[in-house]
A and B are shown apart, each in its own frame.
Chain A
Amino acid sequence: MRNALTIARREFAVYFTSPIAYLVLAIFSVIFGYFFTVGLAYFMDYSVQAQASPGAPPLNVNQYVIEPSLGNMSIVLLFLVPMVTMRLFAEENRSGTIELLLTSPLKDYQIIVGKWLGALMLYGCMLLVAMLNLSVLFFYSTPDWRPLAVAMLGLLLMGATMISLGTFLSTLTRNQIVAGTLTFGILLLLWVFNWVSSFESSTLGRVCEYLAISPHFEQFSRGVIELKDLIYYVSGTALGLFLSKRSLESLRWKA
């Protein structure tokens, strides 16, 4: 575990010694800030209308602000995750530093988990930025923190899955652009799969829908933990890490 943490710390530090962390966090701040502001503006609009019709129950902040702004996160991640994960292994494959890691007394899974964790830590910073935005609500309103916490857990799981896939795809090549493009393509495919159910109700359609990444977050964003969603994200992450390990092993046979 210590070895994996050492590698994770290095990966995390590298994001901040290069422009990647600043770029990703800046883009995320702007886009999430936009979603949040727009959501808040709508909410205020509705509130004014609701006051005009007496007897209506007060509007729920969780439902009208937090849920939609976090619901849009999957689109942002679609673009930012490849930027974060593409260098993880591709850069080392290109520069030859992978030789240092593979000839050190490390197990393959320690290297992979370390790299994945390093990227996940940067993603954690993005979630902190989101929390910073949402914390404003607590000053002027009384949102329920429990569904928010569940939604954050859901986001963490969704990010972990996407990052593990990106980690795997980065092991396949020594070219970061290839790794990034592959990651983006596959995440996009997994994203559009949730449209399939709208025109295709066969088994294939249901399979596609289940495979899609973002629908599994819907229940989380409402504050509901469903076992099938939990299983989807945990097994998705495990699959990504497992494929990375296999790929790293095959790298030795090919090299």
Chain B
Amino acid sequence: MIQVEGVTKRYGTKTAVDNISFEVERGEIVGFLGPNGAGKTTTMRILTGFLPPTLGVASVAGFDIATQPIEAKRRIGYLPESPPIYPEMTVEGYLRFVASIKGIDTKQVSGRVDAAMERTATSDVRDTLAGKLSKGYRQRVGLAQALIHAPEVLILDEPTSGLDPKQIREVRQLIRSLAGEHTILLSTHILPEVAGTCGRVIIINEGRIEASDSLENLTARLEGATELLLDVEGPRADVRPALASDLAVRGLSEQSTQGGRTVWRIDVDKDDHAASRLAAVVVNAGWGLHGLRPVGPSLEDIFLKITSQEAPASEGGDAAEPEAELGGEEPAPAEPDAAENNDADADAAEPAEGSDR
């Protein structure tokens, strides 16, 4: 349903999104995970046709967003980071307006508005001015706005940011209830959020996709395995059992062979001393040790890197115990988040007051 191929977005010399490609199948809920500034919002804006990519092609429901924007946009429901609400309109009036510009037939508008309000439990504020809504209601009205034309694809940019734990749970339930009828791509910088709602996760950092996998696979890798590359000169038949005898070693494969030298790819449990023990095994046996190094950053390292950029101490804890999860409370991210959103709110409220009152 969503296809992104080699999309790059540059602002001047700064590259916000760097040659990313991914696909989202029909009915999937995919989480887009990364710290603020990783390129999540830029990617979503490209997908929704708000920004054109510098390079690459993005298409939604089979329509290229650059060449067939109207067709594509008809099939997208988009909730930007701050819900695009007109403060001077009532919730119902606002939703009627949105329904109309999304191309819904005049006769069907009332029915669609009622359905969207029921779905998001906003019927009780239908006559309230949107500017007077609480943050939780604003978010839900934003969701109602995204749902109103029954789009095939929903793109939600940090749908739970700035909400309290109870509201977060409600919004997540709502998103889960939307699965099946809609294909959903949602972004977040909170790890448990993904576990709570998404079937697949795409991790993005500094404009690049670091990982894309199902939640189970990611969790398995997150439990602490790393890989080592070990370059040994010695008889293969002897080296293999010697290495495998170490308790931390989970798997062993030959990556390449050259003369008497073999490069082994070793899956090891998270264990700070595994590398030195393996080195000792090789040296004690009298074989030649030509190289020993860990392969790339592990997923956990990526996570740590991602999360520690925001709130070093507290969020690092989150990443270290991903399976501890999910009480619905993220004390660590909630705080900087809330502050951030208050700022944004104050910012948004300012012009309305300046000009209208």
Inter-chain contacts of B188 with A (CB < 8 A): none
- Once A14-B86, A97-B84, A176-B355 are accepted as A-B contacts, the answer to whether A103 and B101 lie under 8 Å apart by CB is no
* Stretch binding the partner chain, chosen from B44-52, B215-223, B289-297: B44-52
Cross-chain contact of B348 among A10, A87, A96 (Cβ < 8 A): A96
Inter-chain contacts of B122 with A (CB < 8 A): none
Cross-chain contact of A10 among B51, B76, B97 (Cβ < 8 A): B97
Inter-chain contacts of A87 with B (CB < 8 A): 355
Inter-chain contacts of B73 with A (CB < 8 A): 103-106
In the assembled complex, the Cα of A11 lies from the Cα of B45 at a distance in Å of 25
- B139-160 CB mask vs A (1 if < 8 Å, else 0) is 0000001000000000000000
* A105 and B102 contact, CB distance less than 8 A: yes
By beta carbon, the residue of chain B nearest A111 is: B101
By beta carbon, the residue of chain B nearest A7 is: B101
In the complex, what's the smallest C-beta–C-beta distance from A122 to chain B, in angstroms?
15
Inter-chain contacts of B348 with A (CB < 8 A): 94-96
Inter-chain contacts of B85 with A (CB < 8 A): 97
By beta carbon, the residue of chain B nearest A6 is: B100
Chain A interface residue number, banded:
20 to 34
Inter-chain contacts of B355 with A (CB < 8 A): 18, 20, 87, 91, 176
In the complex, what's the smallest C-beta–C-beta distance from A76 to chain B, in angstroms?
21
- Once A100-B98, A176-B351 are accepted as A-B contacts, the answer to whether A17 and B88 lie under 8 Å apart by CB is yes
Q: Is the CB of A51 closer than 8 A to any CB of chain B?
A: no
Q: Is the CB of B70 closer than 8 A to any CB of chain A?
A: yes
Inter-chain contacts of B74 with A (CB < 8 A): 105
Q: Is the CB of B352 closer than 8 A to any CB of chain A?
A: yes
- Once A104-B101, A105-B74, A107-B70 are accepted as A-B contacts, the answer to whether A176 and B354 lie under 8 Å apart by CB is yes
* A-B pairs under 8 A by CB, number: 89
Scan residues 67-103 of chain A and give those whose CB is less than 8 A from a CB of chain B.
87, 90-91, 94-103
Q: Is the CB of B356 closer than 8 A to any CB of chain A?
A: yes
Scan residues 81-99 of chain B and give those whose CB is less than 8 A from a CB of chain A.
82, 84-89, 97-98
Q: Is the CB of B162 closer than 8 A to any CB of chain A?
A: no
Q: Is the CB of B80 closer than 8 A to any CB of chain A?
A: yes
* B80 and A96 contact, CB distance less than 8 A: yes
Scan residues 293-332 of chain B and give those whose CB is less than 8 A from a CB of chain A.
none
| Among B50, B73, B89, residue most surrounded by chain A Cβ atoms (within 10 Å) | B50
Inter-chain contacts of A199 with B (CB < 8 A): none
In the assembled complex, the Cα of A101 lies from the Cα of B352 at a distance in Å of 18
Q: Is the CB of B78 closer than 8 A to any CB of chain A?
A: yes
By beta carbon, the residue of chain B nearest A19 is: B356
Q: Is the CB of B103 closer than 8 A to any CB of chain A?
A: yes
* B51 and A100 contact, CB distance less than 8 A: no
By beta carbon, the residue of chain B nearest A14 is: B88
In the complex, what's the smallest C-beta–C-beta distance from B132 to chain A, in angstroms?
13
- Once A97-B84, A100-B145, A252-B51 are accepted as A-B contacts, the answer to whether A106 and B356 lie under 8 Å apart by CB is no
* A102 and B351 contact, CB distance less than 8 A: no
In the complex, what's the smallest C-beta–C-beta distance from A188 to chain B, in angstroms?
21
In the complex, what's the smallest C-beta–C-beta distance from B345 to chain A, in angstroms?
11
Inter-chain contacts of A255 with B (CB < 8 A): 45, 50-51
Q: Is the CB of A3 closer than 8 A to any CB of chain B?
A: yes
By beta carbon, the residue of chain A nearest B145 is: A100
* A103 and B76 contact, CB distance less than 8 A: yes
Cross-chain contact of A102 among B49, B88, B352 (Cβ < 8 A): B49
Inter-chain contacts of A103 with B (CB < 8 A): 48-50, 73, 76, 78, 80
By beta carbon, the residue of chain B nearest A90 is: B351
* A94 and B351 contact, CB distance less than 8 A: yes
* B50 and A99 contact, CB distance less than 8 A: yes
Inter-chain contacts of A19 with B (CB < 8 A): 356-357
In the complex, what's the smallest C-beta–C-beta distance from B17 to chain A, in angstroms?
14
In the assembled complex, the Cα of A255 lies from the Cα of B53 at a distance in Å of 12
By beta carbon, the residue of chain A nearest B98 is: A100
Cross-chain contact of B352 among A2, A95, A99 (Cβ < 8 A): A95
Cross-chain contact of A18 among B71, B80, B350, B356 (Cβ < 8 A): B356
Q: Is the CB of A140 closer than 8 A to any CB of chain B?
A: no
By beta carbon, the residue of chain B nearest A177 is: B354
- Once A101-B101, A105-B103 are accepted as A-B contacts, the answer to whether A96 and B50 lie under 8 Å apart by CB is no
Inter-chain contacts of B357 with A (CB < 8 A): 19
In the complex, what's the smallest C-beta–C-beta distance from A98 to chain B, in angstroms?
8
In the assembled complex, the Cα of A101 lies from the Cα of B357 at a distance in Å of 25
* B88 and A18 contact, CB distance less than 8 A: yes
Inter-chain contacts of A138 with B (CB < 8 A): none
- B44-73 CB mask vs A (1 if < 8 Å, else 0) is 010011111000000000000000011101
Inter-chain contacts of A106 with B (CB < 8 A): 70, 73, 101
* B82 and A96 contact, CB distance less than 8 A: yes
Q: Residues of B with Cβ closer than 8 Å to A? A: 45, 48-52, 69-71, 73-74, 76, 78, 80, 82, 84-89, 97-98, 100-103, 145, 348, 350-352, 354-357
Chain A to chain B: the 5 pairs with minimum beta-carbon distance, closest first:
A100-B84, A105-B73, A103-B48, A97-B84, A18-B356
Q: Residues of A with Cβ closer than 8 Å to B? A: 2-3, 6-7, 10, 14, 17-20, 87, 90-91, 94-107, 176, 252-253, 255
Q: What would 8 A/B residue contacts be, using CB atoms closer than 8 Å? A: A7-B101, A18-B88, A94-B351, A100-B84, A103-B76, A105-B103, A107-B70, A255-B45
Known: A18-B356, A103-B48, A105-B70. 13 other contacts (CB 8 A): A3-B100, A10-B97, A17-B88, A18-B355, A19-B357, A91-B352, A95-B352, A96-B82, A100-B145, A101-B101, A104-B102, A176-B351, A253-B52
